[in-house]
Amino acid sequence: MASTKAQKTKRVQSKSFILTLALVLLIGYFVITFIGLQLDIREQKAELNEKNAAYQQQLKENERLEEIVSNEDKSSYIEQVAREKLGFVMPGEKVFYDVTPGA
């Protein structure tokens, strides 16, 4: 009778150990998953902040362009762009270039 009682005790202890081990592993899995998700959330928030900043900058650029388009004096803007970006000059106009080094 003593041996059967000892066997039952060993079986209960082994089942208890397996359940405890399974519980610890399950908790460990949840903790690791939770940490990974928190890192993903932090990355997503940083990306969202970057996108919002780019969006705000684009809105400002759109406002500037709409102001140019709605302005009555479009010819002066076209002339400015042609001079600055395209390098055009008016007929008869003389252009001087600074060729000194470091200028």
pLDDT band at 3 (very low <50, low <70, confident <90, very high): low
- What pLDDT does residue 34 have? 98
Share of the chain above pLDDT 90, in %: 44
- Which structural domain range is residue 56 located in? 2-84
Q: Is residue 94 part of a domain?
A: no
Q: CB–CB of 88/82 below 8 Å?
A: yes
User: For the chain, how many structural domains are there in total?
Assistant: 1
Report if residue 41 sits inside a domain.
yes
Residue 100: inside a domain, yes or no? no
DSSP letter assigned to residue 29: H
Cα separation, 36 vs 33, in Å, equals 5
**Residue 82: which residues within 8 A CB-CB, separation 6 or more?**
88
Single-letter amino acid code for the residue at 96:
F
What confidence tens digit (pLDDT) does each residue in 37-67 have?
999 999 999 999 999 999 999 999 999 888 8
pLDDT (tens digit, 9 = 90+) per residue, 64-94?
888 877 877 778 888 888 888 888 888 888 8
